[in-house]
Amino acid sequence: MNGNGVRVSVEPPLGLLLELTHRCPLQCPYCSNPLELQKSGAELDTDTWLRVLDEAAALGVLQVHFSGGEPTARKDLAAMVKRAAQHKMYSNLITSAVLLDQRRVAELAEAGIDHIQISFQDVEPENADRIGGYAGGHLRKLAAARLVQEAGLPLTLNFVVHRQNAERVSQMIAMGLELGAGRIEVAHVQYYGWGLVNRSALLPSREQLDAVTAEVESARLRLKGRMLIDYVVPDYYALRPKACMGGWARRFINISPAGKALPCHAAETLPGLEFPSVREQSLGAIWRDAPAFQRFRGTDWMPEPCQSCDKREIDWGGCRCQAFALTGNISATDPACALSPDHAVMAEAVKQSRGASLGFVYRQ
């Protein structure tokens, strides 16, 4: 049921994001994992993950994202990739790549992995390793990217950009070309969880944001048909919120390492919602009936100014986790929207970040 007690019917989900583990050799200060990380002992076993994949295929999931933490920390990763391939679900590996060697890449290729996305923290090795909190990581990533390319697998490079690397976006794009990536992501930090903790050290200035945007736009034109560039902007200078996850429980299901089914990876930060476990319920039952999935599905739950807004089915009220983190109210309009009564908190955060320390609280 949604906020008004009406059951909102829904199409099959398009994507399933499996956070196989929270373990990771890196400690990026904007990690999307929750502040409270799950221990390896709490992780689902292989058979349960395989059952989740079977249920996802029957439900109509088209793409599976194997993520973490660092998904290659799971020794059974290839078995899961193989199961996804048997169901003809498109498989994406989202990895830091520091554990990827030739044997592992061959094993994944053999299992039928469709695409590998490698994160990079910067183009300058020293700064990249400082941001990731892992000495020698950058060079390992470069080596792994070459292995992926040599194996003939589609490669994406992911760059998270922020105040401490925004000046090097043109070199990031050049690195994508040099490594034969078909696609790169230039994604500004999203300020939830660890990113919110480190917001003052990471928020770019308006000038930095505009320079990155201009660089991406010109590269997109120049590289049309050669390399795709996906670009994600930060909310802090925006006038309208993002359609977070394409709308609450409209397209995606996220499974935490311990098996909690979530409409987005940060949903467990929201109070008062009980998220079902795939240990106890099928994915189909969860998608259709779980109260936590119904809660913000559609538009009936929306407050004003969303309720009467003609963009309500474009941005779906923005991000619930951001709305709660910045206003204390899980049903509030996302403050990223200029129409939100709380919009001033965004400009205030930008002001506070000026001249703030560049030191990080590392994820651990």
Whole-number Å distance between alpha carbons of 230 and 297 = 26
Our finding on whether 58 is near other proteins (CB under 8 A) is: yes
Nearer to other proteins, 130 or 288 (CB): 288
Q: What is the widest separation between alpha-carbon atoms in the chain?
A: 56
Our finding on whether 183 is near other proteins (CB under 8 A) is: yes
Nearer to other proteins, 233 or 292 (CB): 233
Q: Give all strands (DSSP E) within 192-306, no chain letters.
A: 228-232, 252-255, 261-262
Whole-number Å distance between alpha carbons of 311 and 319 = 14
Whole-number Å distance between alpha carbons of 52 and 316 = 28
Give residue 198's Cα distance to chain centre.
17
Nearer to other proteins, 114 or 124 (CB): 114
Nearer to other proteins, 90 or 362 (CB): 90
3-state secondary structure of 92: strand
Would you give the binding string for other proteins spanning residues 206-245, x where CB under 8 A is met? ------------------xx--x-x---------------
Nearer to other proteins, 225 or 271 (CB): 225
Minimum Å distance from CB 245 to other proteins?
Answer: 14
Our finding on whether 254 is near other proteins (CB under 8 A) is: no
Minimum Å distance from CB 318 to other proteins?
Answer: 21
Q: Give all strands (DSSP E) within 162-320, no chain letters.
A: 183-188, 228-232, 252-255, 261-262
DSSP element (H, E) containing 324: helix 320-327
Give the contacts of 328 (CB within 8 A, at least 6 positions apart): none
What is the arrangement of strands in the sheet containing 90-95, beginning at the earlier edge strand?
228-232, 183-188, 155-161, 115-120, 90-95, 63-67, 15-19, 252-255, 261-262
Question: Where in 99-158 is the site for other proteins (CB under 8 A)?
Answer: 114-115, 117, 153-154, 156
Minimum Å distance from CB 17 to other proteins?
Answer: 11
State the pairing for strand pair 90-95/63-67. Answer: parallel
Minimum Å distance from CB 119 to other proteins?
Answer: 13
Residue from 6, 45, 47, 60 binding other proteins (CB under 8 A): 60
Minimum Å distance from CB 11 to other proteins?
Answer: 8
Would you give the binding string for other proteins spanning residues 8-47, x where CB under 8 A is met? ----x-xx--------------------------------
Contact set with other proteins (CB under 8 A): 12, 14-15, 58-60, 62-63, 88, 90, 92, 114-115, 117, 153-154, 156, 182-183, 185, 224-225, 228, 230
